[in-house]
Amino acid sequence: MTFRLSPRRGADSITIKEPYELAIMRKAGRRLAEVVALVKEAVKVGVTTAELDALAEEAVLERDSQPAFKGYRVGHLVFPATLCTSINEQVVHGIPNQRRLEPGDILSVDVGLVFGGYYADMAFTAVAGEVTPEVAQFLEVTRESLYQGIALAVPGNRIGDIGHAVQSHVEPHGYGIIRDYVGHGIGRQLHEPPSIPNFGKPHRGSLIKAGMCFAIEPMTSLGHHRTKVLKDGWTVITADRSLAGHFEHTIAVTPRGPEILTVLEGGVSPA
């Protein structure tokens, strides 16, 4: 689940995880990757997002974990589901329902869980049926930008280096970078400092140190970066109704560089 941009979330409160905490977060990440693999395989023409949500919740509970998003509160709003399912122009925080996926739909799925008191968070965008080469390239560039950003999450770099890497990969293709919603720190809380925008200047922002854990999550559009929130108070769409993409991993910063936690056995990403 993405975080709304907050420039005040700075370095002073970024937590450094102890080795035992990272061990738990690896287990949480592995469990979440297994859930994502099941959900991604189930994304097909004719399936409803409510059916995907039920599948995900069962898979989370079977892994001695709890859904991270269900019951998440923002003011008076309470998110009602395990998955965020965002179709086509929906960027993030779409609520699962009885709408069946149609040929050519793209579906962004964001899901998190809690295991042993620690959070893992992950997102991917999948297609139902076939899409045009233009859309396929758009999603591949967005997915690539996630790994460009992760590669810069090394001790001695700064948060701005991550966003700059994402932006530098996406914008030359003519795609928009969503600016209102960003990545975030993660650990005992789903959303911890710092905010991690998918844009920015290099060598700016909080210093990255070993032991920090981040949820890095590029969100892009085939049009402009502006967004709006629907009347349900959750669903974020592109203001110009252009298609949106979203990919995310939970990572730990180690002395040797970034370690992706939301992977299957053998270090394979499920999405």
Domain chopping of the chain, boundaries: 3-260
For the chain, give the percent of residues with pLDDT over 70. 97
> Which residues on adjacent β-strands are paired with residue 237?
90, 228
Beta-strand ranges (E) seen in the chain are 3-4, 66-67, 73-74, 77-78, 83-87, 90-92, 106-115, 118-127, 176-177, 181-185, 192-196, 213-216, 219-221, 227-229, 236-238, 244-246, 249-254, 257-260
| CATH code 3.90.230.10 for 3-260 | yes
pLDDT at 8 over 80: no
The answer on pLDDT for 69 being more than 60 is: yes
Query: Which of 67, 88, 89, 87 has its CA nearest to residue 79?
Result: 67
Residue 16 has pLDDT above 50, yes or no: yes
Q: Model's pTM, two decimal places?
A: 0.96
Whether the predicted pLDDT of 6 surpasses 90: no
Tens of pLDDT, residue by residue over 136-162, are 999 999 999 999 999 999 999 999 999
Mean pLDDT over each residue of the chain, to the nearest integer = 96
Residue 197: CB atoms within 10 A of its CB come to 23
Average pLDDT over residues 118-134: 97
For 51, the token pair is 């059916």
Stretch 70-79: mean pLDDT? 96
Name the token pair of 255: 């002395």
pLDDT tens digits for 180-214?
999 999 999 999 999 999 999 999 999 999 999 99
**Structural contact between residues 66 and 114, judged by C-beta atoms closer than 8 angstroms:** yes
Name beta bridge partners: 78.
73
Contact 97, 52 (CB under 8 A): no
CB 107 within 8 A of CB 128: yes
